[in-house]
Amino acid sequence: MVKVILFGYLADTAARREITFDLSEDKTLKTLSDVMRRVDIGYLKGYGGSYLVALNMESAARETLLKDGDEVAFMPPFAGG
């Protein structure tokens, strides 16, 4: 299972914080992003479609293969301070 966590605008729009996905086949960060877009086209369209993705709290290449237990965060542009 891969845990997807949503933050800020994305969590609000999706009305949930977490989504889990079964890894039935090899998936990369890019294919997971594509799946997320199909889950709800509205999620990732905020801020002009601009969002950041972190794998286990670090940036990673889109081609990175996901493994069981990974945590993927979909994040709007940061707005602290």
Options 45, 46, 60, 64; binder of another protein; rule CB under 8 A: 46
Distances 81 to 27, 40, 58 between C-alpha atoms, Å: 35, 30, 21
Nearest residue (CB) to another protein, 66 versus 73: 73
The residues, any chain, with a CB within 8 Å of residue 10's CB and separated by 6 or more, are 43, 44, 46, 51, 74, 75, 76
Residues in the chain: 81
Options 1, 2, 7, 60; binder of another protein; rule CB under 8 A: 7
When asked if residue 49 is in the footprint of another protein (CB under 8 A), the reply is no
When asked if residue 5 is in the footprint of another protein (CB under 8 A), the reply is yes
Please tell me what DSSP assigns to residue 45.
G
User: Which residues of this chain interact with another protein, rule CB under 8 A?
Assistant: 5, 7-9, 11-12, 46-47, 54, 57, 73, 75-81
